[in-house]
Amino acid sequence: MTIWQALYVIVPIAMVLAVLGIYYAYCSAQLFRLRRYEYWSDKFYAAAKPIVQCADAPKVVIHLIESLNEIIRSRMAPTAVTEVFRSNIESPQSDQDLQPKRDEEFVAFCERNPELMANLETVVHAGLLAASYASILGGSQARAILADAFSEMQTRRFKLRDVLDVQEVAEKAHRSGGLVPLITLR
């Protein structure tokens, strides 16, 4: 066997192995993304359940949970998350702008049910993180921006403005089309 005949055999085998290696790396990344998506979705549903079961949950909270449930299933969610929260980071708002209106029903709910406030924060955080894993495109950037947004939410201690930001994400994800159910409702 000459060197050229050996190359005709070795080069195609090497190319096939290279393609298989790239495909394996892609599949591993997808599997990791889907595991994280499932993890954050499960946290979202577990935290939302006691809130939804609470008889005096205000409409704004129920709408928040419905909005997050919708964007978790949207492939456009990472893009919408990035769009909304990037604008909030690039042009910070004053404390007066952060509370566009005072929702007395929301405030009263929080005062009557302080044990559900941790669940409400988990619903927002887990819902947005699950949405950032909904698609391979834009997820890393969405999670980086969410890290900044969560830091801001933590310093503000979760205000009504955070609920309105989530609703804006849901509207942008819904308007862009592309709603594809990726998980079954539990």
Annotate 48-111 with three-state secondary structure: HHHHHHCCCCCHHHHHHHHHHHHHHCECCHHHHHHHHHHHHHHCCCCHHHHCCCCCHHHHHHHH
Q: Which of 84, 82, 48 has its CA nearest to residue 167? A: 84
- What pLDDT was estimated at residue 181? 35
Q: Looking at residue 178, what is its pLDDT?
A: 39
Q: Which residues pair with 179 in a beta bridge?
A: 74
Map residue 179 onto helix, strand or coil.
strand
pTM of the full structure: 0.71
Average pLDDT score, the chain: 79
For residue 176, pLDDT beyond 50: no
Residue 108 CB neighbour total at 10 angstroms: 12
C-alpha–C-alpha distance, residues 61 and 185, integer Å:
19
Q: Which pLDDT score is estimated for 28?
A: 95
At 40-70, the pLDDT tens digits run: 999 999 999 999 998 888 888 888 899 889 8
- Mean pLDDT of the region 116-134: 89
Q: Which of 36-50, 86-100, 145-159, 160-174 has the highest mean pLDDT?
A: 36-50
99: left (phi over 0), alpha (psi -120 to 50) or beta: beta
Q: pLDDT digit string (tens) for 80-101?
A: 888 888 877 777 665 555 554 5
Q: What is the average per-residue pLDDT within 5-33?
A: 93
Mean pLDDT of 141-158: 76
How far, in Å, CA of 20 to CA of 16, rounded? 6
The whole-number pLDDT of residue 174 equals 54
Q: Is the pLDDT of residue 160 over 60?
A: no
pLDDT for position 90: 76
Q: What is the mean pLDDT of residues 131-159?
A: 79
- The CA distances from residue 49 to 52, 69, 118, 163, in Å, are 5, 12, 13, 17
**Residue spans per domain, the chain:** 33-175
Confidence of residue 109 (pLDDT cuts 50, 70, 90): confident
Q: Identify the pLDDT of residue 170.
A: 61
